Amino acid sequence: MKNTYRTTSLLYALLLPAAALAQDASQGADAQELGGVIVTGTRQSGLKAADSPTPIQIIDAGALERSGQAGLIEALVQNVPAFTSDAKGGDASALTLAARLRGMSPNHTLVLVNGKRRHGTSNLNVSAGAFQGGAGADLGFIPVSSIARIEVLQDGAAAQYGSDAIAGVINIILKDNAEGGSAGGEIGRYYDGGGNTNNVAVNAGFQPWGSGFLNVSAETKYHGHSDRSDFDARFVAPQLTAANAAVKQVEGYPYVNHTFGDARVRQDVLSANAAIDVGGVRLYGLATYGSKQAEAIQNYRGPSTAPTVYPLGFSPVETHDEKDYALTLGVKGATAGWNYDLSSTFGRDNASVGNIDSINTQLLKDTGSSPTRFYEGFLKASQASTTLDINRDLDVGWSGPLNLALGLEHRVDSYAIGAGDAASSYRGGAAAFPGYSASDAGSHSRHSNSAYIDLAGSPLEQLKLDAAVRAERFSDFGNAVVGKLTGRYDPQPGLGLRGTVSNGFRAPTLAEDYYSATTVSPTTASVILPSASAAARLLGLPPLKAEKSQNISLGVIARPSAKLSASLDLYVIKVRDRILQSGTLNGYLNGVLQSPVVNAAIAANGNIIPAGITTSGVSVYSNAADTRNTGADLVLGYASNYGGWGQVDWSAAANVNRARVTDVKAAPAQLSGQAVLDQTARSYLEDSAPTYRVNLGALWRSGGWTVNLRESIFGSSSYAATLDNKTYYENRSGTKFLTDLDVTRQWTKAWSFSAGVRNLFNVYPDQLNGDYRKALNAAGRQNVAQYASFSSIGINGAYYYGKAAYRF
């Protein structure tokens, strides 16, 4: 007893000093984080977040609204310190925002909607950087107005949910109210210009039948281009040539290149969530549909490129016309003492890729004419899954019943690339992004079957145990068996110790196996070779196999009073045979031959490098390395009441994460000494995420006023860049402090108005290494990006907005 008292005192001493700043990440600790019943990370019913044996954060609808963010990813980034997003992707990656949890890949976080697996995007992130290779679910197609709460499980859960759940699980729970609703709108823009935003959202609940509900949401969103590009050094002395002298007539010269900024996006999203009780069972369904038209400005081409068509040069624009939809139908009930849930889900994402304000210079040269608008082809990804989950409580003489859960899943994944029109890929293709060629095109699929068993119960009143085992068989790479053991011990009320040991796996996405494309800048061209292709075998790289992971976490949860809550969780995530996109493997570098086999692989894959390119190369996905992520998550919450001065919920939430490459696979001899994982690619893994992230907040309520003040602290991040694979430059951005302010006035019972600003003091990342940028200029390279494109604080500075909402 004496030792227990000392342990308790020590833990309180560690956790209490931060209480004065505390409020949990959901900004509603008492109602949600501690009192809410959770459905993620457990098969038991009625388990509260306060009693969870695994770390889980709950973000309710109010926290999403107060974030001042129009998109779901951005709102999650603001509320969950371990969750970070991409600031700007290149080419097609600029059209789909990527995000990741605990410094892992976007592919390592499983997304569920109402507990059902969500399909991934067809738009594979191929931009060099921290989010490279990501093809997870696009959260932008979930209407924010449809969400009741989000449960973020920050723990490995592959044994419970299958492939992908290595870093954690995001489970989006949709609203199920059968009456009432809301309508609202937002306008906003960046302080330094651009990013003009207009959003309108409606949510409504109905009861069209005797029991059950129908809840629907609709949103329309518009976000305009922003431009944070520097001047283009290619078109000023000493790089400016006589052939390009007309560039001086371009408005804004020498700021003629507008590629570094947000894409323009117009998006409409719909959702429906419904259920009805019939004959003692519940029939349920949910559906989402989204349509997105997006445009990303590409690098400027000078007047000499196509003077007869574009005498002042031109900036190609890559476009996506994307459709995304998902449908789940299911039935749940109870029979013979067993609870059952049988459901089928189908989801598809289809993007039609275009290129406008462009030209195929080789076609123009050969025939005297060329289109300026091109159909580049399409990308398509779909997933169909059928699951059966059953469970029951068994009396085995413990302090509580033992929950036995069993389940089966059958899943079919498919991925396809469709070729563009002939002009888009003719002899090197259209400027900026050559269309998908016949050699890129193809349709691929695989299926998998899995079964799991999960046992959860309390042998003692103070002890909770949960054990799960899952077996999966994939049609394309074989079997996987994984397990998880979780426990929690509460030595006394208000104090809990928890821990998890698990192993997991991640099957390569079909996009990682089969994606193929050519990307072109004014002087360089790079081909992404399909990992499953004969061209990749020429490079000596074997077919992809599944990643294997190990996850260990230890945590403490304290609730010394009704107003104060705290949790601290430490974790280690090891991944063996991690699937990574290689750095650029050069055929030619600055006009000098580096590796004949790389050029042979390009030819073998049927890709053509445009004329005038001095640097050519390939990249390919492979099981390139083993990695280890270590870190900690801290969440604290404290609620205070100041009488006539109102109530304040204080908050503090933090994540510390360190990623390291522990082993690099040997490069094949065919690559002539070039590394598959070069220093740049390695730095994306190890250094590009903030070393730490802290969220501090105060939510004040009084009468009809609500003021939400948040301070976000981002630790330093960096990456290495090179022009010749010999000299590397460190591009570092130091610690940054961002302040967000949202003020809401409840004018009447129905009407409310809000005004706010994100990044109040207009903070930008540190600029890229000056020596690196000088070297780019000296080499005549395009050099308009002032900051790292994956900056965790964005690249646009302050954003101001106003909102109005009506509840009925």
How confident is the model over 278-315, as pLDDT tens digits? 989 999 999 999 999 999 999 999 999 999 999 999 99
Query: Measured between alpha carbons, how far is residue 472 from residues 3, 159, 216, 411, 451 in Å?
Result: 44, 10, 35, 10, 7
**How many angstroms separate the CA atoms of 663 and 193, rounded?**
45
**How many angstroms separate the CA atoms of 759 and 33, rounded?**
26
Three-state secondary-structure class, residue 50: helix
Three-state secondary-structure class, residue 445: strand
Residue 725 is predicted with a pLDDT of 80
Residue 66 is predicted with a pLDDT of 84
Q: Which two tokens stand for residue 190?
A: 């960046």
Amino acid at residue number 690: P
**How many angstroms separate the CA atoms of 508 and 107, rounded?**
9
The owner of tokens 């049609």 is 475
Of 452, 448, 449, 447, the residue nearest 407 (C-alpha): 452
Of 572, 551, 541, 543, the residue nearest 665 (C-alpha): 541
DSSP 671: G
Which residues, in sequence order, are CB contacts of 688 under 8 Å at separation 6+? Answer: 129, 130, 717, 718, 719, 788, 790
Three-state secondary-structure class, residue 207: coil
Residue 5 is predicted with a pLDDT of 38
Q: List residues bridging with 412 in a β-sheet.
A: 384, 447
How confident is the model over 321-332, as pLDDT tens digits? 999 999 999 999
End-to-end, the C-alpha distance of the chain in Å comes to 55
pLDDT < 50: residue spans in the chain: 1-34
DSSP 609: P
Q: Contact, 444 vs 33, CB < 8 A? A: no
**How many angstroms separate the CA atoms of 289 and 267, rounded?**
11
Residue 36 is predicted with a pLDDT of 67
**How many angstroms separate the CA atoms of 384 and 380, rounded?**
14
Q: Contact, 582 vs 501, CB < 8 A? A: no
556 backbone dihedrals φ, ψ, rounded to 5°: -135, 140
Model confidence, pTM: 0.92
**How many angstroms separate the CA atoms of 547 and 545, rounded?**
7
Q: Contact, 200 vs 208, CB < 8 A? A: no
Burial 741-772 (b: 16+ CB within 10 A, else e): ebebebeeeeebebebbbbbeebbbbebbeeb
**How many angstroms separate the CA atoms of 742 and 72, rounded?**
17
**How many angstroms separate the CA atoms of 513 and 621, rounded?**
7
Strand 799-807 to 728-733 pairing:
unpaired
Amino acid at residue number 451: A
Q: In the β-sheet with 56-60, what is the strand arrangement from edge to edge?
A: 56-60, 147-153, 168-174, 109-113, 116-117
Residue 15 is predicted with a pLDDT of 39
**How many angstroms separate the CA atoms of 544 and 578, rounded?**
10
Amino acid at residue number 449: N
Query: Measured between alpha carbons, how far is residue 45 from residues 40, 41, 457, 497, 771 in Å?
Result: 10, 11, 12, 21, 59
The owner of tokens 């505390």 is 22
Residue 489 is predicted with a pLDDT of 97
Three-state secondary-structure class, residue 157: coil
**How many angstroms separate the CA atoms of 668 and 620, rounded?**
13
**How many angstroms separate the CA atoms of 796 and 162, rounded?**
38
275 backbone dihedrals φ, ψ, rounded to 5°: -155, 155
Of 48, 45, 52, the residue nearest 339 (C-alpha): 45
**How many angstroms separate the CA atoms of 104 and 657, rounded?**
10
The domains located in the chain, with CATH, are 2-807 (2.40.170.20)
**How many angstroms separate the CA atoms of 790 and 131, rounded?**
8
| DSSP H/E element including 158 | helix 158-161
**How many angstroms separate the CA atoms of 354 and 375, rounded?**
5
Residue 19 is predicted with a pLDDT of 34
Alpha helices in 666-708 (DSSP H): 679-686
Q: Contact, 648 vs 698, CB < 8 A? A: yes
**How many angstroms separate the CA atoms of 530 and 509, rounded?**
12
Q: What HEC string does 259-282 produce?
A: CCCCCEEEEEEEEEEEEEEECCEE
Residue 97 is predicted with a pLDDT of 85
Of 566, 522, 662, the residue nearest 12 (C-alpha): 566
Strand 181-190 to 168-174 pairing:
unpaired
**How many angstroms separate the CA atoms of 292 and 210, rounded?**
36
Residue 178 is predicted with a pLDDT of 95
Three-state secondary-structure class, residue 804: strand
DSSP 98: -
DSSP 426: G
Strand 197-206 to 213-223 pairing:
antiparallel
**How many angstroms separate the CA atoms of 743 and 522, rounded?**
47
Q: DSSP secondary structure string, 113-146?
A: ETTEEPPPPSS---SSSTTTT-----GGGS-GGG
**How many angstroms separate the CA atoms of 134 and 207, rounded?**
40
Residue 522 is predicted with a pLDDT of 66
Q: Contact, 652 vs 629, CB < 8 A? A: no
